Amino acid sequence: MADHGYRIVIADDHSLIRKGLRTIIELESDMQVIGEAGDGEELLKFLASEQPDMVIMDISMPNINGIDAIGKVLSLYPGIRILMLTMHRNSQYFYNAVSAGAHGYLIKDDSDTELLTAIDTVRSGKTYISPQLSSEVADTMLSAFREHRDPSIINLTPRERDVLDLVVKGHTSKQIADILCLSPRTIDHHRASLLKKFKMKNTVDLVKYVVKNSLVPE
């Protein structure tokens, strides 16, 4: 069988978007679109019979959305590269996508040339960020670095910061609840949220990490 180059599948619930992407990609001699899907569920069904080198995928899709689909795809086919193509400019969507395993993040009104740049970047094993987000993401990371903070700390709510500070000081949930005039159940909810945001399995690991990296005031 002839080698038609880099193999790509497009997953987006708008057929016009899929057709437009296919047209741009197939103008390149070393790339081919081997399939399309209207949502994450269709994508997984397609991948069960044929695996591409890359999936270009929207975030907002019915049945299985793009963020959820990332984890499902990579758990089954870890060698596939994933480039998100979305209308969402909010950096939190970018962080969610990258945390789930995406290798690139492109905005839908980026140029045709930028699409090809994104594909080449992700194809080469690097992470791609749309120019519309790159400055914001860089500023966030630089701020965290300058202040010796983990980027995770930036996404905490004021109440989560209060709870984190008291957890590090060794207070129990009941004691924290009394100090902050909240219920112990609410404190437990905040503690669970902190573990999730810092990707820690338990409070001991969380406290060690926070203290080691000086993420709360002494």
Give the 3-state DSSP-derived string for the chain, with helices as H, strands as E and coil as C.
CCCCCEEEEEECCCHHHHHHHHHHHCCCCCEEEEEEECCHHHHHHHHCCCCCCEEEECCCCCCCCHHHHHHHHHHHCCCCEEEEEECCCCHHHHHHHHHHCCCEEEECCCCHHHHHHHHHHHHCCCCEECHHHHHHHHHHHHHHHHCCCCHHHHCCCHHHHHHHHHHHCCCCHHHHHHHHCCCHHHHHHHHHHHHHHHCCCCHHHHHHHHHHCCCCCC
- The mean-pLDDT minimum among 68-82, 96-110, 122-136, 140-154 falls in 140-154
Residue 150 has pLDDT above 60, yes or no: no
pLDDT band at 1 (very low <50, low <70, confident <90, very high): very low
Q: 214 versus 151: which is more confidently predicted?
A: 214
Q: What is the pLDDT of residue 113?
A: 94
According to CATH, the superfamily of the domain at 6-133 is Response regulator (3.40.50.2300)
Q: What is the pLDDT of residue 3?
A: 56
Q: What is the pLDDT of residues 114-135, one digit of tens each?
A: 999 999 999 999 989 888 887 6
Sorted by where each begins, the domain ranges of the chain are 6-133, 151-212
Same fold for the domain at 6-133 and the one at 151-212? no
Q: What is the pLDDT of residue 147?
A: 53
Please name the fold of domain 151-212.
Arc Repressor Mutant, subunit A (1.10.10)
